[in-house]
Structure 1
């Protein structure tokens, strides 16, 4: 009997995908389909607005900004509460991450990974970057359980200066 290695799904590789790319959108569609969730035209338009705005690590985008972009793209007004519902769905299915300190969202460029992101938030330019550190997140959960607390998900955000703003500040150009 010959055993064949499974062919990996493009959205299950754990690789970071380019925001706004067809591969990222295909991964999002496949992720929802696997869980029996329909990919609607409005969800696609919201995803495109989020992926185009957050640039896979750029500035997070508020639901109101997404609503404005979707309204412009569709030629009809889309209420922010409709966008919030879709963004909540995307977060629940690991297609987007919420940046709590900014009340905004970024597209998740590695939707097949279940890491808790550590967001690095630049206080000057608003750009964000993320790190994956399972050991740190697991340690936080463990300490919380030891204290009798039942953790759901850690919110890890570090405020500071990105390398570009830090360099500008050090040279006096900020």
Structure 2
């Protein structure tokens, strides 16, 4: 069993434990996201789906699948880019804190990291002092990855 199969199997068990199903199309879309380190839009996924599976998939279906996968905590939506990335913790059984995303502005590779809850609590306090309410603690940080830095040097 390869790594992708293991990840999909864990995702399937996660869905079953919540009383939902990871259908064939959902598995196919999740597999496409797991196989890339870059965030993909729904239309990127449609193009890849055709290339990998030899069949078209309607945009509405992809959006519904992405909504389902996000609700099951299997993918994350990068709100600023309106793209999706597979959760790097699909095979874990424990809480990883608040996900944060480092996005290379050169090659678009995305790395998921976690931030301590105490840091998020401090951020929330700062937000409240400024007269706002934190809706989502997810941060998307523009960076340059080490590979791109090395290429530029």
Match for residue 15 of structure 1?
none
Match for residue 8 of structure 1?
none
Q: What's the offset of the Cα at 1:59?
A: 1.3
Residue number among 81, 84, 93 corresponding to 2:72 in the alignment: 93
The structure with the largest alpha-carbon Rg is 1
The correspondence of residues 12-23 of structure 1 with structure 2, limited to 5 A, is 21-23=4-6
CA distance in 2, matches of 1:29, 1:110: 14
Query: After superposition, what is the alpha-carbon deviation per residue over 1:107-128, rounded to whole angstroms, capped at 9, x for unaligned?
Result: 1120343532221111111111
TM-score when scaled to structure 1?
0.74
Ranges in structure 2 where 5+ consecutive residues have no aligned partner? none
CA distance in 2, matches of 1:22, 1:63: 22
Match for residue 10 of structure 2?
27
Match for residue 98 of structure 2?
116
Match for residue 62 of structure 1?
41
The correspondence of residues 93-172 of structure 1 with structure 2, limited to 5 A, is 93-111=72-90, 112=93, 113-134=95-116, 135-145=118-128, 149-169=132-152, 171=153
Ranges in structure 1 where 5+ consecutive residues have no aligned partner? 1-18
TM-score when scaled to structure 2?
0.83
Structure 1 segments, 4+ long, off by >6 Å, are: none
